[in-house]
Chains A and B, each alone.
Chain A
Amino acid sequence: MADVYMPRDEAELAALVKVANAGGNPLEVCGFRSKRDAGRPIKPSAVVSTAKLSGITLYEPKELVISAKAGTPLHEIEAALDKHDQELAFEPADFSRIYSPDALAASIGAIAAMNISGPRRILRGAARDHLLGLRAVNGEGSPIKSGGRVMKNVTGVDLVRGLAGSWGTLSIFTELTFKVLPKAPESRTVIFLGLADEAATGVMSAAMGTPYEVSGTIHLHSALVGRLSDQEIAPAKTALTALRLEGAPQSLAYRVEKLRREIAPFGDTYELDQQRSWEFWADIRSRAFLSKDFERPLWRITIAPSKAALIVRALSAFFEVNAAYEWSGGLLWLELPPSADASVTEVRRVLAEFEADSMLMRAPKAVRSSIEVFHPLPFAKMKIVQALKTSFDPAGVLNPGRMYAGV
């Protein structure tokens, strides 16, 4: 078991990384380790956790901005925002439960490091779109900052976007600043039951193409519907397609009605009221629809929504596929039967015809060790990725190999 370090401030963290850099000793970078079983397995000499870099450092509700140390638990930030009826509008999804039932909650640093967004991403943007600025320590142990606390900023290279989603392989975050938005007072959900996948992506895309500001779309295969907590929906044993709208009561009622009229040709619709709508999307956010069986590989695919159903159909020729179509089909979650290689050959062969991006989100360690977890890159792009890694972390000590071998 590698030693675990929990530096208490940026200087301590920088000193620690400097030593690792000098000795070429690889570090596992983490917050609360709730997603340590994601990505490629690595063999670190030590673990660095940001758990003790904790606390909100600035919150200006009137300016819609919040800053917190990287190890601040997400729920602490959400509780503070909630007091002012505000929220992180990208609605970070909670993946911890698909890895371990007793996992600790995510840190805000992990949300940024993995660019984790939830259902509302499709209307309001991703985690990285709301990340205004950060402080971090690079692989040489040098503190760096980028961005700031203002909404618009094009001063120099946008390291903020570059570091968001880099899985701790380029730098270790110490402090993050996010844009926040007012919470919508109410939520309604329009659902269809029993739509085929093609019809479902069709209706979701059509809904997103209306002016009614749909703030969440999902289509679940029947096996996934059964895992939801809504006791009227869960036993339905049929596919479910859901569209969410949010806002002030009057405007919401108007938009729900208009939307239902516009999508009526796709079939009968049902409406979930405020409470059930809220609970439904809380389930979606906490990934309750995904299996907790660690042996079952879970793939994350991004694809043009109009092609999503074709991929699922093509893969269904090989094995049973349980699919969730989020972001109107642009984000696919595929649960496949257990296998020694997570069916990587079939998955990537099919995807090659559709220009999709794939990532093996969950699988046993042995599987993640033996295949490319992140989508393989063309040579020219891989060269940039390697050069980028070297530009931040020349000795390769930060989460080496977590994303790609040798990076």
Chain B
Amino acid sequence: MSLIQMPKADPMVIARRQAIVGGLSRALGQGTLVSDEGGLRAFETDALTAYRSVPMAAVLPRSTGEVSRVLKFCSENRIKAVARGAGTSLSGGALPAEDSIVIGLSRMNRILDVNFLDRTATVEAGITNLGISNAVGAARFFYAPDPSSQLACTIGGNIAMNSGGAHCLKYGVTANNVLKVKMVLMNGEIVELGGDYLDPQGYDLLGLATGSEGQFGIVTEVTVRILRQAEGARPMLLGFGSAESAGGCVSAIIADGLIPVAIEFMDKLAIEVCDDFAKAGYPRDAGAMLIVEVEGSADEIEEQIQRVKEIASRFEPTAMRISQSEEESAAIWKGRKSAFGAVGRISDYYCMDGVIPLGKLAEVLKQVEDAGKKHQLKILNIFHAGDGNLHPLILYNANNEREKQAAEECGAELLRLCVDAGGCLTGEHGVGIEKRDLMRYQYTDSDLIQQMRVKAAFDPQWLLNTGKVFPLDLQTRFAAEALEKHG
């Protein structure tokens, strides 16, 4: 793909590479420095693999102090820095620039404290999302936001992107589940944002930093809320003749006042691909399928399942199957959570993340289908339906220039559809580089400038994960102002 331009690398900075590597080496203690071409290849891209760029160096610090010294060095020498967790960003959030260095948090992955009475866990930012739930699972607690990449993605990355997941319908996204972070600012200063418990008074700097896509500072430690698991949970599969019926059923469930833990949608193509992979027993003859999960005591689960069945029966379901065992539930979720990987086995794809008001679901799904036809591309839909968070996967062949170009154009068209429907460009993957140039479709320049000023309040030198989120022309203006003011 080639539509998205990155800012030109500064040859003057790259010319200083030897000295920069030396400086980084001095700033690190126990941490690792990667500066050889082969080693640096590991940092050239993230899960938006169509874009690649090798950084000048990468450091893998082991402590907040090291992150602080590295950033201070970068700040004093005006070197751009990009934080990286596990590199699972779908929007290019961890993509480095050629004149930047990468700070990888993967070596900082310890659990520092768990307090079941206060229901908190304090961890280092490089721990995986699932690592937190695993650490508290024996006591029947869990960390709620569950991005599909939770086996690999880090809590630091989750905070950068304000990640969501299937179960956010009931439990909220990352921002609703984080209490405190330790963050290193670009100049090396270490600040704590948030507090030991809910809602300290004062500006919500933590709320602003959550979802700031690594542009405000680098989070090294996190205190999250952990929650007690429900007594039980059970998913059910509902097959429908068409996507419209399935969409109608989703709206009807929410409108009924029933808030399941998750409502996931798959269209026909997605059902086949995921079932081939996970052998989950999905209804392969259905035009679309929902996974609806409810939780509570055995009676509560039974009661909610009956309500869902009643509502679904109004939409002429072709299949209704309630999981009968832990194994069956696990297989049902495995199919959903490995969906992107499963699709990756059959085709290259471009994953969208727009959100729409629920009432527009059927209408927008039809428009998505039309857009695919127009661009002669197959589109597969698999998404968090309960909160209107679409994930159309546009299939294309990376070796075919026409298809590559068409996929990006089609993607942009789909996102504009979401905004037109009253929704937004991204619900959980972030803007990154991918949706940067569409930001003006959702926001006015006055909105964007206000956002950028807030970024500058945290990073006045404009050095952290630049080239992303905001339109490049505005960034150029801010970077020039920063250079003038801060040298």
By a beta-carbon cutoff of 8 Å, the part of chain A in contact with chain B is 60-65, 85-86, 115, 117, 121-122, 125-126, 128-129, 138, 142-146, 148-159, 161-162, 164-166, 170, 181-182, 202, 205-206, 208-211, 248, 250-251, 254-255, 258, 300, 302-307, 327, 330-331, 355-357, 359, 374-375, 377-378, 380-381, 384-385, 387-388, 390-392, 403
Cβ contact of B428, chosen from A129, A154, A330, cutoff 8 A: A154
Of A149, A166, A307, the most chain B CB neighbours within 10 A belong to A149
Given that A62-B254, A152-B428 are contacting pairs, would A182 and B197 also be in contact in the complex, using a CB cutoff of 8 Å?
Answer: no
Q: Chain B contacts of A384 at CB under 8 A?
A: 185, 191, 205, 457-458
Could you tell me the distance between the alpha carbons of A375 and B457 in the complex, rounded to whole angstroms?
21
B14 at the interface (CB under 8 A from A): no
Q: Chain A contacts of B443 at CB under 8 A?
A: 145, 155-156
Query: Interface extent on B, as a size class?
Result: 35 or more
Q: Are B175 and A209 in contact (CB under 8 A)?
A: no
Could you tell me the distance between the alpha carbons of A286 and B468 in the complex, rounded to whole angstroms?
46
Q: Are B198 and A330 in contact (CB under 8 A)?
A: yes
By a beta-carbon cutoff of 8 Å, the part of chain B in contact with chain A is 115-120, 140-141, 161-162, 164, 168-169, 172-173, 175-176, 185, 189-193, 195-205, 207-208, 210-212, 228-231, 251, 254-255, 257, 259, 296-297, 299-300, 303, 355-359, 384, 387-389, 422-431, 435, 439, 442-444, 446-448, 450-458, 460, 469-470
Q: Are A305 and B204 in contact (CB under 8 A)?
A: no
List 20 A-B residue pairs with CB atoms under 8 Å apart, sorted by A's residue number. Answer: A62-B255, A63-B358, A146-B447, A149-B422, A152-B384, A152-B388, A155-B435, A157-B208, A164-B204, A164-B207, A166-B203, A251-B300, A302-B196, A305-B197, A306-B117, A307-B196, A330-B197, A381-B205, A391-B457, A392-B450
Could you tell me the distance between the alpha carbons of A99 and B388 in the complex, rounded to whole angstroms?
42
Give min CB distance, B233 to chain A, whole Å: 10
Q: Are B228 and A303 in contact (CB under 8 A)?
A: no
Q: Are A155 and B424 in contact (CB under 8 A)?
A: yes
Q: Is the interface of A mostly helix, strand, loop or mixed?
A: mixed
Could you tell me the distance between the alpha carbons of A245 and B426 in the complex, rounded to whole angstroms?
35
Q: Are B451 and A156 in contact (CB under 8 A)?
A: yes
Q: Are A121 and B428 in contact (CB under 8 A)?
A: no
Could you tell me the distance between the alpha carbons of A380 and B183 in the complex, rounded to whole angstroms?
11
Cβ contact of B202, chosen from A210, A306, A403, cutoff 8 A: A403
Could you tell me the distance between the alpha carbons of A138 and B444 in the complex, rounded to whole angstroms?
14
Cβ contact of A380, chosen from B190, B229, B384, B435, cutoff 8 A: B190
Q: Are B201 and A375 in contact (CB under 8 A)?
A: yes
Q: Are B454 and A162 in contact (CB under 8 A)?
A: yes
Could you tell me the distance between the alpha carbons of A363 and B201 in the complex, rounded to whole angstroms?
17
Q: Chain A contacts of B228 at CB under 8 A?
A: 208-211
Closest to B117 in A: A205
Q: Are A209 and B117 in contact (CB under 8 A)?
A: yes
Q: Chain A contacts of B207 at CB under 8 A?
A: 128, 158, 161-162, 164
Could you tell me the distance between the alpha carbons of A243 and B172 in the complex, rounded to whole angstroms?
23
Could you tell me the distance between the alpha carbons of A304 and B460 in the complex, rounded to whole angstroms?
33
Could you tell me the distance between the alpha carbons of A156 and B215 in the complex, rounded to whole angstroms?
11
Q: Are A303 and B196 in contact (CB under 8 A)?
A: yes
Give min CB distance, A310 to chain B, whole Å: 13
Could you tell me the distance between the alpha carbons of A202 and B117 in the complex, rounded to whole angstroms?
8
Q: Are A150 and B172 in contact (CB under 8 A)?
A: no
Q: Are A151 and B388 in contact (CB under 8 A)?
A: yes
Q: Chain A contacts of B251 at CB under 8 A?
A: 62-63
